[in-house]
Amino acid sequence: MANFRTSRRNLLKGAGAGIVALGTPHIFTRNAWANQFCNDPGSGKIVFGFNVPQTGTYAEEGLEQLKGYELAIKHINGEGDGGLLKTMKPLALKGNGVLGRKVDYVTGDTQTNTDAARDGARRMIERDGAIMVTGCVTTGEAVAQQSLCQEMGVIYMSGLTHGNDTTGKDKRRYGFRHFFNGYQSGVAIAPILAAEYGKERRAYHLTADYNWGWTQEESIKNATEALGWETVAAVRTPLGLGDYSQYLTPVLNSGADLLILNHYGHDMVNSLPQAVQFGLRERQANGKNFEIVVPMFSELMAVGAGDAVKGIIGTQNWNWQLDDEGSKTFTKSYGEAYGAPPSQSAHTGYVQAILYADAVERAGTFYPPEVIKALEGFEFDGMGNGQTLYRDTDHQCFKEVLVVRGNESPSSRFDVLNVIGKTPREEVIYDPSIFGGELGPYEPNQC
Amino acid sequence: MFSLSRKDLLALAIFTVVVLTMPVWLAPFGAAYPGLMQKFAIYAIFAIGFNILFGLTGYLSFGHAAFIGVGSYTTVWSFKLLTMDILPAMVLAVVVTGVFALVIGYFSLRRTGIYFSILTLAFAQMSYSLAYSVLTPITNGETGLLLARDDPRYLDALLGAQANVAGLPQPTLLGSSVAGYAGFYLCAVILILTFFLSQKVFASPFGMALRGIKSNQTRMNYTGFNTKPYMLAAFVISGMIAGLAGGLLSITDPLAGAERMRWTESGNVVLMTILGGVGTLFGPVIGAWLIKYFENIFSAINTNMLNTAFSFLPDGVQSFVVTVLSKFVGEGWHLTLGLMFVLIVVFLPGGLVEGFHRFMARLKRRSAAPERVSSVQPAE
């Protein structure tokens, strides 16, 4: 029979060895534990999540954006002609993926619906292990996804969102916006409007009756009233209205000589042609030509509005006809890939994906707080918008804002908007505290 | 009170097992992640509630999404004003939706058939517009109602239970988190309870009265049976269950958006019920799962994935197959769903449950058939 009794000496020796053995992995892995975060790619695949509307009201813009993302993945992985990696300064990406590893992606359909957008983002994070989620065409989608991503501890790079709330009242530490906003539109368009239409105008607003419309109306009103304009009335129109005649008739007798349409997408595609058919632009009021302004433009909307868009002034984030190196390069590689010039929706998506990848490369890790710090206060150039700053206090990009005018004699289907002015970055910078909101913590949650 | 017939008890047992083992059997379909399974459970609850009205009484409500919306907003406001605990939130969601359903039901139920549907649709669209713009101070409009770190949460403050977390507070059930799988099991348990409730309603005299209303309301009235309170009760119960589903949506994901109240969402629950089988116990649940599956998984398949899936085929064939199939997945998922809906309505008017019954009947006949053949053979 074996003797299982142990001496005191052996027991102490064994206990000591056991403690050391238990402690060792802890000492070696403590750093790893500290850096554990949601969807840490470790040695697995690196997945980006592209969540855009592929059906619903803004499907067209969403699909454009998706093309931009797919092109960005190619260029990050070193396929194709490299695109903006050739012009971006400073650049950390090497054209061999991110941190030397190839990037994969998954896609989702937000259906232009905040619930579906969050479902899609959760699928990407929980099932597909996405390290970053990006894409949207409305401010509702952007805010919904970015607050979800904050809770999950995954960085969200918003796509096309123009409402002030995304980087204002509802800003988040994990959300970043490259696109401009309603406030910047107002500031940028004002001097051009003054130069074109004089300083004594009586403006009449028709505003889409939801959050984005109101913030834009407020921004434009403040900017134009600072010029000396008078606001006759600001009328709210329900979203998705087909027939605007009941809202256009009162404009005639209001004593206004300029109509501002705070409409986007389908609303604008309906309201602008109806206003033009109403004969508003042939009218004289207060001894001046009656004018129409659409503060926020996109190429797809301009195409949809057809001839009515000719001569109308608005603002844009980016236009493929810009002649800087970055814009030319991007238009060329996008055109080669898809056979048509890119829209601003494709551009902002493309740039956001590149910016995220570049920030990871600079941070040297996927650990979100480090990547966020790499993006905050980042100054870059050569992406088509001139010198650009990602402001650290609200995660909003600051760059030139374009003022465009509907082309009177378009040479092609894509040649609908002409750039008539650029408002420099210094003029569109504002104090982040005017919108309130708070960014929240850096430390990621576990998902 | 809690007794069930043997057949119902068996159904409940099967249902419980199926729901609780979702993380296992959904894995091969790529749907076993908490986010989607929570949606599966919640929309099944919603469809069961809708079926109590539509399946039993035949009154087609086109405005049930409004109840989901009211439940969601109530829950988020309870999180903002009272406490992060989900129990008061759920109770409030059900109660407030019940009152709301009482008001809408009182007016809508004065008409039957298509007029009833249109009235409910009108109320729902009205609620949607109110939530989207007019009531923005309450609903936060397009952006959706979100939690904030500095919300008052009076009850939590009173009890000194204010969570000291750096980020946003999370909903809890008596102090434990309901994120991820915990959230799914919470929804799953509530789904099973709702299923049990619907079994009780189906088997009760109340359910029988509702079926009577469906088959011939005029005759019921002539026999001296006042159908109005029954209808209203069914409408309110159905609305309260929808409110509970809305509350759960906000509990698992603390945000309420106006899009939840759009008519497309109301239409969705009608589709779910018809797809699965109107007036059956399992039908609405199956329909809800199928539609949510298509919406979340099919829409996420892109040409890249198809190319890898069919890489075993020769080049030409592969690109052909991928080109054809890509029209039905990704952005084309609506097309697939629509096709399936048409096929089911044309060939299986009773929904998938009818399909299942037919299949079982055929199996039985086939297993019975050889005996007859063998017994006939010797005579030849």
Note whether B317 and B273 are same-domain residues. Answer: no
In a domain, B291, yes or no: no
Burial class, A168, CB count within 10 angstroms (exposed 0-12 / middle 13-18 / buried 19+): buried
In a domain, B284, yes or no: no
Strand pairing category for A417-423 and A401-406: antiparallel
Q: What is the H or E stretch that residue A260 is in?
A: strand A258-262
CA atoms A299, A305, A310, A312: torsion sign: negative
pLDDT value at position A8?
60
Final residue of a structural domain among B219, B253, B279: B279
Note whether A304 and A330 are same-domain residues. Answer: no
Q: Which residue of B has its CA nearest to A55?
A: B331
In a domain, B269, yes or no: yes
Final residue of a structural domain among A285, A316, A347: A316
Note whether B305 and B224 are same-domain residues. Answer: no
Note whether B141 and B73 are within 8 A (CB): no
In a domain, A419, yes or no: no
CATH number of domain containing A237: 3.40.50.2300
In a domain, A121, yes or no: yes
pLDDT value at position A444?
76
CA distance A278 to chain B (A): 27
Kindly report whether the peptide bond that precedes residue A90 is cis, defined as omega within 30 degrees of 0: yes
In a domain, B227, yes or no: yes
Note whether A62 and A144 are same-domain residues. Answer: yes
Range of the domain at B97: 6-279
Res. B308 pLDDT band, cuts 50 70 90: confident
Note whether B39 and B73 are same-domain residues. Answer: yes
Report the residue from A55, A115, A447 with minimal CB separation from B259.
A115
- Judged by a CB distance cut-off of 8 A, whether residue A79 touches chain B is no
pLDDT higher than 50, residue A28: no
In a domain, A205, yes or no: yes
Note whether B205 and B341 are same-domain residues. Answer: no
**Do B36 and A123 count as a contact with CB atoms less than 8 A apart?**
yes
In a domain, B244, yes or no: yes
**Do B34 and A119 count as a contact with CB atoms less than 8 A apart?**
no
Look at chain A and report how many structural domains it folds into.
2
Rounded distance, CA B30 to CA B45, Å?
22
Note whether B34 and B177 are same-domain residues. Answer: yes
Q: Give the number of other Cβ atoms within 10 Å of residue A439's Cβ.
A: 19
Note whether A197 and A308 are same-domain residues. Answer: yes
Final residue of a structural domain among B251, B279, B307: B279
Rounded distance, CA B25 to CA B32, Å?
8
Final residue of a structural domain among B279, B305, B333: B279
Q: How far is CA A75 from CA A105, A159, B11, in A?
A: 13, 18, 55
Question: Could you tell me if the ipTM is greater than 0.90?
Answer: no
Q: What is the mean pLDDT of chain A?
A: 88
Note whether A335 and A392 are same-domain residues. Answer: yes
Rounded distance, CA B306 to CA B323, Å?
9
Note whether B223 and B324 are same-domain residues. Answer: no
Most confident of A342-346, B253-257, B301-305: A342-346
Note whether B338 and B189 are same-domain residues. Answer: no
Note whether A217 and A241 are same-domain residues. Answer: yes
In a domain, B288, yes or no: no
Note whether B82 and B191 are same-domain residues. Answer: yes
Give per-residue pLDDT as tens, A344-393.
Answer: 999 999 999 999 999 999 999 999 999 999 999 999 999 999 999 999 99
CA distance B35 to chain A (A): 6
Final residue of a structural domain among A316, A343, A366: A316
Note whether A138 and A98 are same-domain residues. Answer: yes
Q: Which residues contact B302 (CB under 8 A, 6 or more apart)?
A: A106, A107, B326, B329, B330
Note whether B88 and B146 are same-domain residues. Answer: yes
Give per-residue pLDDT as tens, B26-53.
Answer: 998 888 899 999 999 999 999 999 999 9
Note whether A135 and A69 are within 8 A (CB): yes
Rounded distance, CA B272 to CA B310, Å?
31
Note whether B319 and B366 are same-domain residues. Answer: yes
Report the residue from A139, A147, A447 with minimal CB separation from B255.
A147
Q: What is the H or E stretch that residue B139 is in?
A: helix B136-139
**Do A118 and B295 count as a contact with CB atoms less than 8 A apart?**
no
Note whether B224 and B195 are same-domain residues. Answer: yes
In a domain, A29, yes or no: no
Note whether B54 and B270 are within 8 A (CB): yes
Range of the domain at A100: 46-180+320-399
In a domain, A420, yes or no: no
Interface test with A, best of B37, B252, B299, B326 (most A CBs within 10 A): B299
In a domain, A437, yes or no: no
Note whether A140 and A233 are same-domain residues. Answer: no
pLDDT value at position A23?
43
Residue A6 or A360, more confident:
A360
Note whether B111 and B52 are same-domain residues. Answer: yes
For residue B144, the chain A residues in CB contact (below 8 A) are: 114, 140, 143-144
Question: pTM of the full predicted structure?
Answer: 0.84
In a domain, B287, yes or no: no
**Do B295 and A116 count as a contact with CB atoms less than 8 A apart?**
yes
Note whether A118 and A213 are same-domain residues. Answer: no
Query: Of A353, A329, A368, which Cα lies nearest the Cα of A76?
Result: A353
In a domain, B122, yes or no: yes
- Judged by a CB distance cut-off of 8 A, whether residue A92 touches chain B is no
Q: Among residues 281-340 of chain A, which lie with CB inside 8 Å of chain B? A: none
Name the amino acid, one letter, at B191: L
Q: Which residues contact B194 (CB under 8 A, 6 or more apart)?
A: B45, B48, B49, B241, B244
CA distance A282 to chain B (A): 33
Final residue of a structural domain among A286, A301, A316: A316
pLDDT value at position B369?
59
Note whether A330 and A381 are same-domain residues. Answer: yes
CA distance A269 to chain B (A): 20
**Do A148 and B253 count as a contact with CB atoms less than 8 A apart?**
yes
Rounded distance, CA A272 to CA A281, Å?
11
Between A and B, how many CB-CB pairs are < 8 A? 127
In a domain, A25, yes or no: no
Note whether A300 and A364 are same-domain residues. Answer: no
Interface test with A, best of B134, B142, B264, B336 (most A CBs within 10 A): B142
Report the residue from B39, B170, B331 with minimal CB separation from A54.
B331
Residue with tokens 């949460």: B153
Question: Of the ranges A274-288, B257-271, B291-305, which one carries the lowest mean pLDDT score?
Answer: B291-305
Give per-residue pLDDT as tens, A204-262.
Answer: 999 988 778 888 899 999 999 998 999 999 999 887 788 999 999 999 889 999 999 99
pLDDT value at position B57?
93
pLDDT value at position A67?
95
Note whether A137 and A234 are same-domain residues. Answer: no
In a domain, A270, yes or no: yes
Look at chain B and report how many structural domains it folds into.
2
Note whether A289 and A341 are same-domain residues. Answer: no
For chain A, the straight-line distance linking the first and the last C-alpha, in angstroms and rounded, comes to 54
